[in-house]
Every structure is written in C-alpha cells, then in structure tokens.
Amino acid sequence: MRVAVVAETFVPAVNGVVTSVLRAVDHLAVRGHAPVVVAPSGASYESRCGAEIEVVRVPSLRMPGYRELSVARPGTALTDVLRRLAPDVLHLASPAVLGGAAARAGRALGIPSVAVFQTDLAAFATRYRLPGGAGTAWRRLRALHAAADLTLAPSSASATLLRRHGIGPVALWPRGVDLEQFCPRRRDPVLRRELAPGGELLVGVLGRLAVEKRVHLLAPLSRLPGVRLVVIGDGPQRRQLERAMPAARFVGQHVGDELGRLVASLDLLVHPGADETFCQAVQEALAAGVPAVVAASGGPLDLVRHRENGWLWAGDDPHELAALVAGLRDAPATVREAAGRARASVAHRTWARVGDELLDHLAGVCTRHARTG
C-alpha cells in the first residue's frame, strides 16, 4: 500500500503523536509498504530500516502560548498534494486542522482514510479557554471523523468517549512500547545517588510541561521529606513550575538511551494528567519496571491495575496525592512488589504487534472501499 500519513505535528517536536507517527511509518516501511508523511514541519529522512521517507511540508504557524509547536495553517489546501501523491489510503494522525482538511480532500478524491484519535481536543479547548469550548470542539470532531472511514481509539475510555459523542465506527488501536529502550536493566545506581543522595524515594514525572498535564498538582508531593521529585521534560510551563516546586529537580527533555536510563532509575512514576487518551509515559515506566501512580481517568485505566502494577488516584486534590505517595514512601516492600509486576503487564505491547494491527485496519478500509467502489 502507498500510505499518506498526515501528521498534525511532527519533528522536531517531541510528543506522543510524533512518536506514534515515526513508529507507524517505520513499520509500514519494514513491511514493504510505501509511506509518505504530510506535516507542518520536518524533512525527508531515512527510516530505521533504511527506507527513504518523503516528508511533504505544508504552511504552518506557531501555536499561541506554545511557541515550540508548529501546527498547520488554517485553510491549507491538500487536494493537489494528495492528487500528486496518489495514496491508496490516508492515515490521519490526531487530526485537527491539517487532518480535517486531508479527510475532506480524501473524500473528494475517493481515497479511503483512517483517523487516529490521540488528543482530547475538547478537553484541550476547555483548559486553554479556546473560543466555543468543548461543545464546538466536539461538533468539529464529529464532522472531521464523519469524513473518515474508520476512527481508531488508543484506549477503552477513549473509544467509549467517542461513541458517546456520536463518532463511529470506532476500533481499538493502542500504542506500542520499546522494550529495549525502557528496560529494568537500565537502572543506574550512580544516577540514583546523584538524584537522591539521601536514599529518598525517587519519584518522576515525564512529559510536556503544559497546562493539560497538571504537573502543578505535584507541588505538595515535592515538599515531602524522604521524597525527591524529578521532572523529565520541557514546555511552556517550565519556569512557572520551577518557581512553584524549588525542591524538585528539573532535568529537561531527554530521548533515546538517556531517557531509558532516567526512567528505569526511578522508584515511582506519578502522572497527574486527567485528559490522557492513552499515556505513553506510563506505559514506558511500566516497561522499565517502575510502578505508576495515575489519575483514575482516561487511557491510564487500561494500563494501571490498582495495587498490582501501580495505584489509581481518584480526584483532583494534590494533598491526597501527596498522602498516597507518602504512604508508599513508608512501604518500600509494597513498591518493590509492584515494580516486580510492572514490566510483565505491558510486555505484550510491542511496536511490531501494534504496527501489524494498524496494517490490518488500513488494509480492511482499502478492501471495504474497493467493494463499495
């Protein structure tokens, strides 16, 4: 298949959407297909398997309040681009502005498409106080997904949310995890002594430092005696968070082996975000043998089993979250037992397996389109 992967954001941005796009494109190339990326940033590159991947850039702009992120400019015309590329199917990664234009252009050209729901735009609109709020966002999402042949949801909670708002057909397509990059053997005693010199419980949070991640709720936790908080990532809220949590260690954005070493060296991952459609950071921590404390909503509910490989935190009270972590600080055996069960809980979620599931969805859409032709 020739697959046009339309990415709302792409490299050099570092986020879950970009990671999923890179992995999907790699897998398509490995399996002998011909992917091409359409995105507001990036350049053509060589995939992990040595295939040359064409990146077609469209006009873009910087998002207000989030200057590190390039997004497609409204009104981007894709009909001529798609006509030239002549793909068999469109893979719309977390579609919004660019993905919506691609879905409409694909429908006009008779190209089947699969829309991958990855960002809760309605929650995003609420937190960033965008015009129209959640109601307008859901109306636009319904129109966008109606132009696609199939919507893929990354978690059970996301699939239920989409169906509740009148979006379908919906199928489940989770995310994979790199079991080599995120592995317990990368745990580094030297790094641990540097980050927690007094042998404290080493607690980490991983992700973009943006409003929707609710990292500010970790302020009471950061002040707990016997606990050291490490913040891995960067984003528009970093300076504000550094002022609010002076005792926390901000190590910035890391990738590759260094990220794997940092994550594996933690005792516990805490993820306070409540709007996650999947939450790759939690899956990566579990693969590295690190149990997780997560907000009891959204995608993490498919990953964390309470008191088995982590703990669910119900509510928005940061002091309750701090109390939960304080209890774990005082029960090291409980944390070690959960750590021993963490990796096995996600070991079956390889990128190869998830990539093959995506291929099945893309091929199925092409087959159904040919039949109804």
Of 93-107, 158-172, 215-229, 326-340, the poorest mean pLDDT is in 93-107
pLDDT digits (tens, 9 = 90+) for 66-123: 555 566 665 667 899 999 999 999 999 999 889 999 999 999 999 999 999 998 889 8
- Please name the fold of domain 184-345: Rossmann fold (3.40.50)
Residues with Cβ within 8 Å of 320's Cβ and at least 6 positions away in sequence, in order, are 313
Q: Are 231 and 249 in contact (CB under 8 A)?
A: yes
pLDDT digits (tens, 9 = 90+) for 3-21: 999 998 899 888 888 999 9
Q: How far apart are CA 328 and CA 201, in angstroms?
A: 9
pLDDT of residue 74: 56
Q: How far apart are CA 311 and CA 298, in angstroms?
A: 14
Domains of the chain: which residue ranges?
2-176+350-372, 184-345
For 2-176+350-372, CATH number?
Answer: 3.40.50.2000
Residue type, 71: V
- Whole-number mean pLDDT of the chain? 94
Q: How far apart are CA 113 and CA 362, in angstroms?
A: 8
CATH fold match for the domains 2-176+350-372 and 184-345: yes
Mean pLDDT of 213-230: 97
Please enumerate, as own/partner, the contacts of 50-57 that have beta carbons within 8 Å and a separation of 24 or more: 53/25, 53/29, 55/10, 56/81, 56/85
Mean pLDDT of 269-282: 95
Question: pTM of the predicted model, to two decimals?
Answer: 0.92
Query: Predicted confidence band at 219 (pLDDT cuts at 50, 70, 90)?
Result: very high
pLDDT of residue 182: 98
Q: How far apart are CA 361 and CA 345, in angstroms?
A: 25
User: Which tokens sit at 117?
Assistant: 């729901």
User: Which tokens sit at 306?
Assistant: 């309470």
For residue 302, CA distances in Å to 60, 117, 159, 296 come to 35, 16, 12, 10
CA quadruple 368, 371, 372, 373: dihedral positive or negative?
positive
